[in-house]
Amino acid sequence: MRIATWNVNSITARLPRLLAWLESSGTDVLCVQETKCTEEQFPADALRELGYESAVHATGRWNGVAIVSRVGLDDVVKGLPGGPEYEGALEPRAVSATCGPARVWSVYVPNGREVAHDHYGYKLHWLEALSAAVAGDAAGDRPFAVMGDYNIAPTDDDVWDTAAFEGLTHVTVPERAALAALRERGLSDVVPRPLKYDHPFTYWDYRQLCFPKNRGMRIDLVYGNAAFTGAVKDSYVDREERKGKGASDHAPVVVDLDT
């Protein structure tokens, strides 16, 4: 089974590329982030024509997550159980479902904005709730993964220049500690295995020629339990999909499972 995660940065803007990529890549399950649409606006009909069911949690604006699958889509849960509110609202940042033999979460972790901003505290609380919510599945025997845009670079090697991020979010000790706490639930980072690039970044800002200069970050992650990681045959960042007109600023992250 081929499973992937991709922050599309507006599914409406990216739809032609998304449909073409699903066909060419042979992906069975795709976790989508930043749909930037309502559930009614989500292109479920276009995806259904390709054989994919959709589970969507979205309200428009800047968030929204989805799982699309052609190997089954059962036991859908929208939202993060026990998750915090931000400015009085529960944002649509998580959706989970069982797809064939695996259970997966598509997550869009809050950005954090600035270390002194309320959004940064919200990010840490959100990650704490995520760790608690996935504990049972992470410890289970069924293949399980939490996939998506974590908005955290796990190590200094996951950013193009550590000096460029000094004092900024995405690389702080508390954020990385939150990832460590998630791993302690029985999850591990399964990408890259093996490396296809010296620096397999997943995100490059649109500005300042960041992609041509490879000034990127690895913030789109796949965290799997023992049953999931034990089934991994290959994993890679599809850097080619970041190229060309109309690309998202994120690249898909792909994992092949022997299941």
Q: How far apart are the first and last CA of the chain?
A: 6
Concerning whether 75 is annotated as a catalytic residue, the answer is: no
Is the pLDDT score of 187 beyond 60? Answer: yes
Does 191 score more than 90 pLDDT? no
Residue 199, pLDDT above cutoff 90: no
- The predicted model gives 137-160 an average pLDDT of 96
Tokens standing for 36? Answer: 């930037």
| pLDDT tens digits, one per residue of 218-248 | 999 999 999 999 999 999 999 999 999 999 9
| pLDDT at 193 > cutoff 60 | no
β-strands 29-33, 2-7 pairing: parallel
pLDDT average, residue stretch 183-201 = 79
Catalytic-role residue among 28, 137, 149, 238 = 149
Is 34 part of any known ligand binding site? yes
Nearest to 133 by CA among 146, 147, 149, 120: 146
Amino acid identity for residue 93 in this structure: R
Ligand-binding annotation for 225, yes or no, is no
Angle 10-14-16 from CA coordinates, rounded to 5°: 150
Q: According to the annotation, is 250 in a ligand binding site?
A: yes
Average pLDDT over residues 206-229: 96
Q: Quick check: is 149 catalytic?
A: yes
How many structural domains are present in the chain?
1
| Residues 94-117 pLDDT 10s | 999 999 999 999 999 999 999 999
pLDDT at residue 200, rounded to an integer: 84
What is the mean pLDDT of the segment spanning 194-201?
Answer: 66
Q: Is 108 a catalytic residue?
A: yes
Does residue 59 have a pLDDT over 90?
Answer: yes
Please answer whether residues 138 and 185 qualify as being in contact, where contact means their C-beta atoms are separated by less than 8 angstroms. yes
CATH classification of the domain holding 127: 3.60.10.10
Name the residue with tokens 């604006």. Answer: 61
* Mean predicted lDDT score pLDDT of the chain: 95
Domain extent for 241: 2-257
Unique residue bearing structure tokens 């049972």: 136
pLDDT at 139: 97
Percent of the chain with pLDDT over 70: 97
Pairwise CA distance, residues 136 & 139, whole Å:
5
Give SS3 for 139. coil
**Which parts of 109-172 fold into alpha helices (H)?**
118-138
Locate 30 and state its tokens.
């795709």
Return the structure tokens found at 189. 């980072």
Residue 33 bridge partners (DSSP)? 7, 65
